[in-house]
Structure 1
Amino acid sequence: MILKRLADLIYYSKERDAQELSRQKCAFATVSREWQVFFERWTFRHLTLHQSDLTEFGKIMQDDNNRRMSVKFICLRIQLPEYDCKKCKKGESPKEIRANQRLFTTAVWELFSILSQWEQHGEVGLEISVHSPSDALHYCQELKSRIHRRANIPPKYSKPRKRGKATHGWNRGIQIDNPPDGAKLRVFGHPKGLGFDLRTSVARKLGTLPEVKVVTWLLIRRQFYRHFSVPKALGPMIKSLPRLEHLSYEPWRG
């Protein structure tokens, strides 16, 4: 009863800063084993991971069924390399395309490898998105408000900035010009979409994309513009999710 009341006070507090709430719940989880089990149900319920988190994520979840059972939704946000104004008006070079394919492949295959070790339980949603942090700093500044937006949290209204000079077709937080075609290609990526590069070390090691039985919902939102190749990425993912019940794929047509 005390734990539930404490959890409610945290959740319904006026200052609902996500990072601060996460720190509070993690701190409470260290009080005792009972508190750990209770608060980890909240801490692990909705996870947002970047590719750099996957190794630690695998260690934290290894052989811990309580934590695994707490997970209801995983958002994998794959970050591509940053770029500057010399490249923001140009599509990706063949070298950049290959590097992004390898990065994308490694992240997805590593996550599927981790989740393939989980026993079948309940329903887990999986969201995958790909973007460069630079996308929101050049011609697609509307992405600034989307980068940290969760699938189950409604967007908050933010007022346009009152200061700042016009840049990349934006002025004071308002888009005044459409981006050039090269800038669209930079953000959307290759027209064929991101696909798996089977020459990466993780793909060669595993042979095939591991089967994951805990995921029942796959979500790829319009939150970011980069889309996936159906035959070389989305198809193999669906094939490796035997319990998939819901698929939401929202590609932009640019």
Structure 2
Amino acid sequence: MSSIPGSPCRKQVWDCLPGEIRLMILKILIQDGCKLAHLATVSQEWQAELERHNFARIKLTPSRLADFSSMVHRNHALADAVENLFSIVSAWDPKSDLILEISIYSLSNSQHWFKYLTSLPDSPSQTIPTEGYDDAQHGWVAGFRHAAPPRRAFDKIFSGIMEQGPFRNYVSKFEWWDQLPSVPAVASLLLRQQNRRRWKPNTLTHMFARLPRLQEIHYEPWGEWESEGMQMTEEESQYLFDFIRRFNIHLKRLVVFENLNQLYPAILQWFHLGVDTADVDSIRNPDPAVGRMVALASLQLEHLGASFLVNASHFCAAIEPSWEPVEDASDEIGVVLQAAAAMAMWMPRLETMEIWNGRKGLAAVFQYQTLRNTQQATITWRARWELNMERGLIRAWEAVEQLDISAIKSHGDAIPCLRLSSQVIRPVSLQQIQM
């Protein structure tokens, strides 16, 4: 089906279809038997219709009934608290440069299966408590985990914020956010990784819209490890970073750190699904479309940190259109570094660029840094292996330092080992990861 050039229907074909045809299409999708959750993100009309079907029948067993009641009650209280907060702070002086942190957790999180969870203020002086946990009922014996948490415990810890009430559907939730007062006093927003409950990226766009003077965002979401949730999050993340680029015009610093725990997917697959995890890669592959949107959003920023959410090759391809990501992994590092050099030509005021990666047993960083008030720059490679580079880059090479592989037990351990020059994660968040 095509539209007449110049007609108002050219860019919104769906809206130009007769109402009966749109309804017929939605009914076919519902009757098809496919999963509908990811389709609800297509438009507000789809959300309203599909969620009416999805939530037309909710099955509650006796064991879950009490949890459902308390969950809805807590979400009502949370919505009231957010509304009261925005209402109060909206009257503050717009020049206050307030730092707002939103952290949502339950005190019971660390009392049962997840003993090591902490909820601390964003202060580097805070010490992380360590102790030998002993609670056989919840899988802990003499400080070590001897049994996996049930799937229900994982779902509770990583549940979506305000996803189980108090709103009827996504449309009513977004309308609630949009009616909140604008809060120009907030200049910095912290959403740290200790907040394991997940903010939907689409929800964050409506939150950010109520903070018109945002200059700095620290966003540390937990990565998805299930395919359906991963696909929805990637699609919504594209919209989130496009929104930031278009509407958060005062933003100067954006630090995104997608956290991961390589044990979580393995525990779920082995203990709950009976799958052998020997060949399972618990590190997800970043979505190229999300990388492109982050790259475009970065063009207006003074500082960008995007760890694990974005692949460097996708970022380079978005800034330097003539370069395409390579398929040969054996030469990928060298080719990406060449693309990064070409990309830097588009950044005349670039002072520092760091391309890094880290996980258990692995850490590497490539660093480009200009020397202030000079026309010189240094290129540094730190890793647990040497990197052979072409002659033109070898001349600029300053140091190759071998790292101790035994010291790198997680992606968190890689960060101090690599001595990254700029902040990629909040200091307390890094402490919590290294526990």
- Secondary structure at 2:121's aligned position in 1? coil
Q: Is 1:107 aligned to residue 81 of structure 2?
A: yes
Residues 239 and 197 of structure 1: is their aligned pair in 2 closer, same or farther, counting only changes over 3 Å?
farther
Tell me the residue number matched to 1:217: 188
- Secondary structure at 1:252's aligned position in 2? coil
Q: CA deviation at 1:152?
A: 2.2
Residues 91 and 150 of structure 1: is their aligned pair in 2 closer, same or farther, counting only changes over 3 Å?
farther
**Contact 2:100/2:190 (8 A) holds in 1:** yes
Q: Deviations over 1:160-191 (max 9, x none)?
A: 238x442312223433333221111122224x
TM-score (norm 1): 0.52
Q: In the aligned structure 1, how far is the partner of 2:132 from the partner of 2:218? A: 33
The residue type paired with residue 218 of structure 1 is: L
Q: Is 1:178 aligned to residue 148 of structure 2?
A: yes
TM-score (norm 2): 0.32
Aligned partner of 1:194 among 162, 177, 182: 162
**Contact 2:180/2:210 (8 A) holds in 1:** yes
Q: CA deviation at 1:142?
A: 0.9
Q: In the aligned structure 1, how far is the partner of 2:184 from the partner of 2:132? A: 45
Q: Deviations over 1:171-220 (max 9, x none)?
A: 23433333221111122224xx4358468xxx999971111011111111
The residue type paired with residue 95 of structure 2 is: H
- Secondary structure at 1:235's aligned position in 2? helix
Residues 210 and 250 of structure 1: is their aligned pair in 2 closer, same or farther, counting only changes over 3 Å?
same
Residues 205 and 122 of structure 1: is their aligned pair in 2 closer, same or farther, counting only changes over 3 Å?
closer
The residue type paired with residue 208 of structure 1 is: Q
Residues 235 and 155 of structure 1: is their aligned pair in 2 closer, same or farther, counting only changes over 3 Å?
same
Residues 132 and 92 of structure 1: is their aligned pair in 2 closer, same or farther, counting only changes over 3 Å?
farther
Query: What is the 5 A alignment of 1:1-254?
Result: 93-143=67-117, 146-147=118-119, 149-161=120-132, 164-190=134-160, 193-194=161-162, 197=166, 208-231=179-202, 233-253=203-223
| Unaligned 5+ runs, structure 2 | 1-61, 169-173, 224-263, 265-435
| Unaligned 5+ runs, structure 1 | 1-85
Residues 218 and 121 of structure 1: is their aligned pair in 2 closer, same or farther, counting only changes over 3 Å?
same
Q: In the aligned structure 1, how far is the partner of 2:144 from the partner of 2:65? A: 24
Residues 186 and 240 of structure 1: is their aligned pair in 2 closer, same or farther, counting only changes over 3 Å?
same
Q: CA deviation at 1:234?
A: 1.9
Higher relative contact order (CA 8 A, sep 6+): 1
The residue type paired with residue 166 of structure 1 is: A
Q: In the aligned structure 2, how far is the partner of 1:103 from the partner of 1:243? A: 27
Q: In the aligned structure 2, how far is the partner of 1:213 from the partner of 1:207? A: 15
Q: CA RMSD in A?
A: 3.3
The residue type paired with residue 223 of structure 1 is: Q
- Which protein is bigger by CA-based radius of gyration? 2
**Contact 2:191/2:220 (8 A) holds in 1:** yes
The residue type paired with residue 85 of structure 2 is: L
**Contact 2:190/2:217 (8 A) holds in 1:** yes
**Contact 1:91/1:186 (8 A) holds in 2:** no
Residues 160 and 208 of structure 1: is their aligned pair in 2 closer, same or farther, counting only changes over 3 Å?
same
Q: CA deviation at 1:247?
A: 1.6
Residues 100 and 118 of structure 1: is their aligned pair in 2 closer, same or farther, counting only changes over 3 Å?
same
The residue type paired with residue 183 of structure 2 is: V
Q: In the aligned structure 2, how far is the partner of 1:91 from the partner of 1:248? A: 36
**Contact 1:209/1:236 (8 A) holds in 2:** no
Residues 96 and 229 of structure 1: is their aligned pair in 2 closer, same or farther, counting only changes over 3 Å?
farther
Q: In the aligned structure 2, how far is the partner of 1:210 from the partner of 1:221? A: 24
Q: CA deviation at 1:94?
A: 4.2
Residues 151 and 207 of structure 1: is their aligned pair in 2 closer, same or farther, counting only changes over 3 Å?
closer
Q: CA deviation at 1:244?
A: 0.6
